[in-house]
Structure 1
Amino acid sequence: MADLVLLSAAAEGAEHAADPALFGVLNGTVWVSIAMAAFLAIVIWKGGIRAVTGMLDRQIADIRKQLDDAKQLRAEAEALRDEYTRKIADAEKNAAEMATQAEHEAEAVVAQARLDAAELVQRRARMAQDKIAAAERAAIAEVRARTADAAAKAAAALIAERHGKDADKALIDRTIAGLSRPH
């Protein structure tokens, strides 16, 4: 029977390590709880909650400002897009007018010289199509270049404003100063 008690005690000891306790009641869990309660009391007493909420309020204000800036940039980009859409529509209208004008010129040439009419009409039609294609390519290239330039400038401005080494250092310094300052 004594061997059975020793074996069961040994089996229990193998599964669970002994937890030292003071007076049989104050074990490690109780000491950690007391230390945590003391830490929280000191943080509340020293105004730590106000510092944290103040820091969070500043971050919320910064985020709101960034959102407002993003909305403004989006509105500017949409206005720029609308402007270039109008330019493309005007370019297409001009291309159609150029095609119409080329057709009228071709008809006048046909009336003047019936013998060379077929060759001249084909040559003028090719020239008009080339002009139209060149005008469309130029308009599209200009729209793309301006859009890319505007987007790059806006992105560079945002990145430079919000992600510079000095801005990050200043944010860290303010945060550290806010945490270490007694209230």
Structure 2
Amino acid sequence: MDATFWALIGLVIFLAILVYLKVPAMMGRSLDERAANIAKELDEARTLREEAQALLAEYHRKRKEAEKEASEIVASAQREAAALLTEAKEKSEDYIVRRNKLAEQKIAQAEADAVNQVRASAVEIAVAAAGSLIADKMDAKTAGEMFKSSLEQVKNNLN
């Protein structure tokens, strides 16, 4: 009997013991459990990946909404600024027109006052000149007659 024969018999006995102790079934069960765990981890990873993609899409959507809202706010602010600028221009133009009218009225009033002062001065000078001429040329008799005629004229005007 050869050593190879004994090695073969030892191998067959070893394999028989392994089969008797159900080692291949345990190895299969262990491999199946490991494969199930790997499949479960893959499913969890796939679920997490899908959730991350959904969250990323939601953040992109929110960012776009925020950008849109920001652009609307900027556009609204620009419209308000333009409206305020237009209103300020209109108010300043109205103010300038009112100030010009007021200045023109003051100038016209000053001109009227100056003309009235000149007229009053001319009347005073004319009255003074007439008074001095009358005083020089008039005697007591003529003055009395003028006084009487003036008095009668005033009486007639009052009645």
Quick one: higher RCO (CA 8 Å, sep 6+), 1 or 2?
1
Compare the two structures and name the one with the higher helix fraction: 2
TM-score range, shorter chain: 0.3 to 0.5
TM-score, length basis structure 2: 0.48
- Larger gyration radius, structure 1 or structure 2: 2
